[in-house]
Structure 1
């Protein structure tokens, strides 16, 4: 009997011990990330921008995936990204401390004051993206990228690196974008074999030799400023034999011209001696010289226009000041970014006009005539919440789309980028104004482009610009017909919808799904992580997280921390949350139409009454009207 009684007692002790150990491991893990980040901070100088990093905090990430730590982005309660851009940081980057963050995948320290040799990023073997642009790193880039099989994005531009391009860097198996521009590197460019490679930018270095054939279809601007480079997309290389033959040929021609010139000069002298009046007539004929000289001065420019094959800009707006393509080429330019479609530049023209030039290479889905027709159709669109197209340029290999420059940046930058100390985030009234404007712009596209199943097709926070008054302006709309089909399905937001993921189709409600995800992003402040994935994949991360919070228990944690002080608007915020959930319902038949969503959005106000909030915000009311049923939720998680 004693033995029988001991068995259950031992079992209880064992279970309790396991629970204690599990709890201890969770606390240790959380405390570990905190200590690792604090240790990393201590290695930096001028770290006042990281004053929110609190050593007394249990963890930088809450259970809901939010954080108050500047520059820290969480996913599944773990540190997923460190975005420390433009914080004035310097000193030593303690990579050993960062290596203790098991979920860290994205590291960005752009625009700081770091110097010395490049940090040992190999210690962060699971990184997917590393950005160290616009610092003062120097010396050779170490050839030790072996084993970093997840690394896709490498931005090391705007430093003082020297030496050759490391072979292990060029051989990264999943490399998509590599930017080494604006350094002092040299030697030959190695071969690249990656199937998904989109950009290798080595502009303004000292590279030489022939550009590898794998890079021959890239933009010529990626290789500008390297005097020794040649081959497609730059002018062809000349062999040493050809150069020798050309030199010999030029020498022979020069000798022949000297001989002919000497003979003609001798004859002319004899004529003048025999007929002195002809010399006077020759002087008199020189009166017409200035006009001929003027034509001769213009001739090189005329030849340049006729021979450069650059073509002309096609303007689609009458209210825009006109300029030529050459004006763009001569203008001072600032690289704004390089996305899945191509690079964007801010061009400052004479007279103070600033425009954005976007270069597209994957835009050959239509022939020239149909492309012109579609661009003019987009140019005729006019709405307060659309960024208007100013002009376009057509060439078979690439296209340029030109629009006005919007100083306040994108919605994504305001939601997710680092802010300086004391700078407020977007409050509830501003976010409500933005989502109302976005919805109105989308409604206008549905009305004016009825023949397109995807009037926008690429609706996301980085494609919503904000003017000085935080009025939203949609961009990149109506491009599905002109983007190459394979490229569109790899990168455009509409093709990450549940219906395309499961049945390879899009509908008139697909842009509504994108609107729903955007609403959830605006109200939670969380970035839709699946937008970073190429190809299919319904955005379950954000929508599923919101639904799980509603399904299990309602807390204010779902709202972005910058809105939580808006006590008088929580009822309206809950209404918008419900609208977002109903717009991104995975079942197309049950998903709201744009008209229904518009009606509900237009009803939203900045403030609500206590009675309305109490009647609406009960857990049962919100849960019963949420976007997914229990079965739907399980389906979205398992698929």
Structure 2
């Protein structure tokens, strides 16, 4: 009995100290990491535990999460650090300036599930030890300088659901990855890859493979794939079949080209004969699949084509052309002309509009928008509506209501044109484009960060415009709130556009048109309540705060929309992980950012009666703006700091209502 007691005591003495020494060794490893690459990390070395440090999370007396995005980490990570952090499940070092090869002792982190290293300067081949981390679910190595080939050993990571390798220096072909049955997010674009895309990956979008010399699947077919061989037993006949198929294709293409040339000649003969007496607008899409450019040119009859507008497989554009229409369609009777609203200046007519030079601004839910520069120098925006199925009388009644809406936060509708074949709307031109382009365009070097004052001002202006619409009647809503419909003046004042157009189009064009913004209860996109507008506006606020487009597949979750992703991050992680890195520069407005985040989450409540009214939304934005605007100073960039209240409270410890 005494012997057994001695054995128990011996085991107690041997194993008891291992709790603290383990955490102590992890703390020492993190301090070595700080000394090597984390000069700007504000970790309190005197703290008995690293679990309260910025970006560190512990469970069961071990460090399990390291999240240091945009933390000004610079240099090479030495070997010998991660070997002491073997319980890591998530490692996020994205958006830093880390370089060199990945430390080999990362192989010891066999519990690792999420590894985010994108937007750094790591070099060398993708190390083989990564293929031993078979619990990995998400791996993001994008936008580094990794070289060499993509190994087929990725098949060893059978749980992998996300694999991002884009914007590196990878070469060779893409291996077949049959073991990655859970892979739903994949991108190898803008490397130096070649060859055929494996059949397993051909279900991915074309964007996943752009910028390489690849073929097959969502891209152009590989040589020989278009024709079907007759069988392996008759190789000669198979070759003849392929040659015959190519000849037939050549003849067909030649016939089509010849036919189009004849039509083109007849078209110009008819145009010349008409001597410019007939005009109408015909806006045709540019040919897809290759980049084309249509230079601006005046034609003999004074009509226009678009200024140079490039079109690629990843960018939407179009060109404009002028076709013939019966003279009566323009001015043959009293109602076939450009009709203006209210006191709008009538400095041009339909003839002037059709003679204007134009360029495509973008294709939207209801049609294509153009920038039209009139001969007298006036610039307007023209939207050519598509899928208008209602009668002319109903169209005129509804568009008159839209034209009567007048508020400084709305893009005013100045005039419209209606004929059987064309429906045109004329708006004031907004020179700074849309909020979507401002947020998501040109995120590279030379971009001016979009600061808190500008973003909160845009949010307030948009809220006021929507509030005005809702005040016009309980049954009046916008119905299509999204960042591409928030346009900006030269002073970055927000103007809401596309209001009132949802009732003009047919049902075939409306499903899923506001994907990512649409409230869960909306089944008919032509019938959107005011509370559904509030939901869409809440998503817009999240877009402003996170910098993430809600229609894009998010890196951190598989198939999860923006509101749910934000809520999951707020529940489980640091709230700073949510905010756009450009906003993290402005450390003295953290409280206001969190308040706006809270408001956005309230707007995105699952049930309509839980959402605030747009009046309350506007009031709350006005209040937080009053406490923040004018207090910003030039901050140190790329630093993520704790609140300056002297406590250990983190942004990741949100108000209770975040957790409901």
Return the TM-score normalized by structure 2: 0.53
> Equivalent residues in 2 for 1:403-442 (5 A)?
403-419=427-443, 421-442=445-466
Aligned partner of 2:205 in structure 1 is 128
> Equivalents in 1 of 2:443, 2:262: separation in Å?
36
Aligned partner of 1:347 in structure 2 is 372
Q: Does 1:485 align with 2:507?
A: yes
> Equivalents in 2 of 1:345, 1:132: separation in Å?
31
Query: C-alpha displacement at 1:530, in angstroms?
Result: 6.5
Query: C-alpha displacement at 1:547, in angstroms?
Result: 0.6
> Equivalents in 2 of 1:433, 1:130: separation in Å?
34
SS of match in other structure, 1:491: coil
Q: Deviations over 1:292-317 (max 9, x none)?
A: xxxxxxxx998896679993122125
> Equivalents in 2 of 1:550, 1:482: separation in Å?
40
> Equivalents in 1 of 2:117, 2:261: separation in Å?
44
Is the CA contact (8 Å cut-off) linking 1:553 and 1:619 kept in structure 2? no
Q: Does 1:553 align with 2:573?
A: yes
Q: Does 1:475 align with 2:507?
A: no
> 1:394 and 1:601, CA in 2 relative to 1: closer, same or farther beyond 3 A?
same
> 1:490 and 1:394, CA in 2 relative to 1: closer, same or farther beyond 3 A?
farther
Q: Deviations over 1:91-121 (max 9, x none)?
A: x997958999983469799xxxxxxxx9989
Q: 2:520 aligned to 490, 498, 515, which one?
A: 498
Is the CA contact (8 Å cut-off) linking 1:523 and 1:577 kept in structure 2? yes
Query: C-alpha displacement at 1:433, in angstroms?
Result: 0.6
**Deviation larger for 591-600 or 429-438:** 591-600
Can you give the 5+ residue segments of structure 1 that lack an aligned partner in the other structure? 1-15, 41-51, 58-75, 85-91, 110-117, 155-165, 169-184, 191-203, 211-218, 226-299, 533-538, 630-639
SS of match in other structure, 2:512: helix
SS of match in other structure, 2:511: helix
Aligned partner of 2:613 in structure 1 is 593
Is the CA contact (8 Å cut-off) linking 1:513 and 1:584 kept in structure 2? yes
> Equivalent residues in 2 for 1:336-415 (5 A)?
336-364=361-389, 366-415=390-439
Aligned partner of 2:656 in structure 1 is 624
> 1:304 and 1:398, CA in 2 relative to 1: closer, same or farther beyond 3 A?
closer
Is the CA contact (8 Å cut-off) linking 1:106 and 1:128 kept in structure 2? no
> Equivalent residues in 2 for 1:450-461 (5 A)?
450-452=474-476, 455-461=477-483
Q: 1:562 aligned to 546, 560, 582, which one?
A: 582
> Equivalent residues in 2 for 1:222-261 (5 A)?
222=284
Query: C-alpha displacement at 1:436, in angstroms?
Result: 0.6
Q: Number of matched residues?
A: 428
Query: C-alpha displacement at 1:348, in angstroms?
Result: 1.1
Query: C-alpha root-mean-square deviation of aligned residues, in Å?
Result: 5.5
Query: C-alpha displacement at 1:574, in angstroms?
Result: 0.5
Query: C-alpha displacement at 1:375, in angstroms?
Result: 1.1
Query: C-alpha displacement at 1:147, in angstroms?
Result: 3.2
> Equivalents in 1 of 2:499, 2:453: separation in Å?
26
> Equivalent residues in 2 for 1:68-147 (5 A)?
79=164, 103-104=185-186, 125-129=202-206, 147=217
Is the CA contact (8 Å cut-off) linking 1:434 and 1:471 kept in structure 2? yes
SS of match in other structure, 2:504: coil
Is the CA contact (8 Å cut-off) linking 2:569 and 2:578 kept in structure 1? yes
Aligned partner of 2:360 in structure 1 is 335
**Deviation larger for 486-495 or 374-383:** 486-495
> 1:307 and 1:479, CA in 2 relative to 1: closer, same or farther beyond 3 A?
closer
SS of match in other structure, 1:545: helix
**Deviation larger for 323-332 or 423-432:** 323-332
Can you give the 5+ residue segments of structure 2 that lack an aligned partner in the other structure? 1-85, 90-105, 127-141, 148-160, 178-182, 228-251, 267-280, 288-324, 633-641
Aligned partner of 1:311 in structure 2 is 336
> 1:126 and 1:596, CA in 2 relative to 1: closer, same or farther beyond 3 A?
same
Q: Deviations over 1:141-184 (max 9, x none)?
A: x9x97632xx8xx9xxxxxxxxxxx989xxxxxxxxxxxxxxxx
Query: C-alpha displacement at 1:389, in angstroms?
Result: 0.8
Q: Deviations over 1:491-542 (max 9, x none)?
A: 146983111269997432000000110001101111102699xxxxxx9511
> Equivalents in 2 of 1:575, 1:501: separation in Å?
31
Is the CA contact (8 Å cut-off) linking 1:37 and 1:98 kept in structure 2? no
> 1:511 and 1:613, CA in 2 relative to 1: closer, same or farther beyond 3 A?
farther
SS of match in other structure, 1:500: coil
Q: 2:349 aligned to 309, 324, 327, which one?
A: 324
Return the TM-score normalized by structure 1: 0.55
> Equivalents in 2 of 1:337, 1:420: separation in Å?
22
> Equivalents in 1 of 2:354, 2:170: separation in Å?
39
> Equivalents in 2 of 1:223, 1:425: separation in Å?
34
Q: Does 1:463 align with 2:485?
A: yes
> 1:553 and 1:221, CA in 2 relative to 1: closer, same or farther beyond 3 A?
closer
Aligned partner of 2:535 in structure 1 is 513
Is the CA contact (8 Å cut-off) linking 2:517 and 2:535 kept in structure 1? no
Query: C-alpha displacement at 1:548, in angstroms?
Result: 0.8
Is the CA contact (8 Å cut-off) linking 2:479 and 2:502 kept in structure 1? yes
Query: C-alpha displacement at 1:553, in angstroms?
Result: 3.1
SS of match in other structure, 2:284: helix
> 1:187 and 1:363, CA in 2 relative to 1: closer, same or farther beyond 3 A?
farther
> 1:482 and 1:620, CA in 2 relative to 1: closer, same or farther beyond 3 A?
same
> Equivalents in 2 of 1:393, 1:37: separation in Å?
58
> 1:125 and 1:611, CA in 2 relative to 1: closer, same or farther beyond 3 A?
closer
> Equivalents in 1 of 2:550, 2:186: separation in Å?
17
Is the CA contact (8 Å cut-off) linking 1:463 and 1:475 kept in structure 2? yes
> Equivalent residues in 2 for 1:281-320 (5 A)?
311-320=336-345
Query: C-alpha displacement at 1:320, in angstroms?
Result: 2.9
> Equivalents in 2 of 1:28, 1:206: separation in Å?
60
Going by fraction, where is helix more abundant, 1 or 2? Answer: 1
Larger radius of gyration: 1
Is the CA contact (8 Å cut-off) linking 2:481 and 2:537 kept in structure 1? yes
Query: C-alpha displacement at 1:618, in angstroms?
Result: 6.3
Aligned partner of 1:182 in structure 2 is none
SS of match in other structure, 2:605: coil
Aligned partner of 1:446 in structure 2 is 470
> 1:333 and 1:484, CA in 2 relative to 1: closer, same or farther beyond 3 A?
same
